[in-house]
Amino acid sequence: MTMTHTRFAFVKAQWHADIVNRALDGFTEIIPAAQVDVFDVPGAFEMPLLARDLAATGRYDAVVCAAFVVDGGIYRHDFVAQSVVDGLMRAGLDTGVPVLSVSLTPHHYQETDHHNEIYRSHFVTKGREAAQAALGILKTRQSVSARSAA
């Protein structure tokens, strides 16, 4: 379904990397790893700026960002999550390149083996969904372009 020249940037926040990295696993089950350039950032808050920079290069057909934003007790995780999602949306709108979010913000996460396994598995699923969404939006945009040219 993907064309060989199609490239994707995949940005991963390193906070809870053992969980977040699983999104890339799911993503590359659908889109070949050879078509994906991977970038790490310290945390979710750093994703929108890099997403914008990557999108602006013109090298990528879509940018996907993955993070796990949990309530750390020191800051309001909902504020961080909303800022990140708003920033990612702005990056896509400003550059005209789809920027997709695989950012999960659970309200009741605890660092237990049970919760970690649940979220590792869920990130694989979300990675697959992001790949399908990326392919879907590219197909739709190509269709719109073809109709405009006709």
Q: Which amino acid is at 124?
A: V
- Residue position matching structure tokens 């750390």: 72
Q: Is 59 a known active-site residue?
A: no
pLDDT number for residue 2: 42
Per-residue pLDDT tens digits for 105-139: 655 666 767 777 877 888 899 999 999 999 999 99
Q: Choosing from 22, 76, 120, 128, which is the catalytic residue?
A: 76
Cβ atoms of residues 109 and 72 within 8 Å? no
115 Cβ contact list (under 8 Å, min separation 6):
109
Task: Please write the tens of the pLDDT for every residue from 38-94.
Answer: 999 999 999 999 999 999 999 999 999 999 877 666 656 666 778 888 999 999 999
> Which of 86, 97, 88, 87 is closest to 7 using CA atoms?
97
The pTM score is 0.89
